[in-house]
Amino acid sequence: MTTRLLVWRHGNTDWNAARRVQGQTDVPLNDLGRRQAAEAAELLAAMRPAAIVASDLRRAADTAAALAARTGLPVSHDERLRERYFGAWQGLTTAEVALQRPLEFARWKAGQDVGGDVEDLDVMGKRVSDALQDAATLGGTVVVATHGAAARQGIAHLLGWSREHTRTLRALQNCHWVELSHDEDRGWQLGAYNVGVFAERPVPPPV
């Protein structure tokens, strides 16, 4: 039996628009984000999901709710799907982080662990991967609403990719998704990346 995971980044927020570090701050969707969620939900509903799982942070939970409204499916919430914890960075713009914490910012840009109170990449990858594995046990097509950095690192951990390989993935755009499949013969495979309704300009790695 083949299981399919559609790992879906939440819609736009005011902090996304301002390039402000969200991390685990519970920032809601803005008007654009709600519209993105509703339009993406139309496409995802056509894929006939069997289950919906979401981060408990509002921007992901409300994105998932748009799909639930179309399909009639309930949403299960899993805090392991939360975004990376960015500690003292949260609430700052990326420009402010670069100015106030240049060494940490340089490590982040290089794809390294930041240090301080910022969550380690491997820790984040494992917790999100564990949540994805549990979501997959629901069977069929499962939509998982989460966050940009969490999605990328969790998927990489699931696939057994190195950090160097993971850095080849561009940032996941708001309300775009990744398709993964799993069967007994081939294990986990990446089917599609950054699929969605909206054509957006490239953005910095999501935080």
Q: 103 near 118, Cβ under 8 Å?
A: no
Q: Is 141 assigned to a binding site?
A: no
Q: 133 near 127, Cβ under 8 Å?
A: no
Counting Cβ atoms within 10 Å, is residue 48 exposed (0-12), middle (13-18) or buried (19+)?
Answer: exposed
Q: Is 10 assigned to a binding site?
A: yes
Q: Is 15 assigned to a binding site?
A: yes
Q: Is 176 assigned to a binding site?
A: no
The H or E element spanning position 145 is: strand 141-146
Q: Is 170 assigned to a binding site?
A: no
Q: Is 80 assigned to a binding site?
A: no
Give the Cα separation of 43 and 178 in Å (integer).
13
* Catalytic residue check, 83: yes
> What sign has the CA pseudo-torsion 65, 66, 69, 75?
negative
Residue of 83, 104, 119, 176 marked catalytic = 83
Q: Is 89 assigned to a binding site?
A: no
Catalytic residues: 10, 83
Residues at the binding site for substrate are 9-16, 59
Residues at the binding site are 9-16, 59
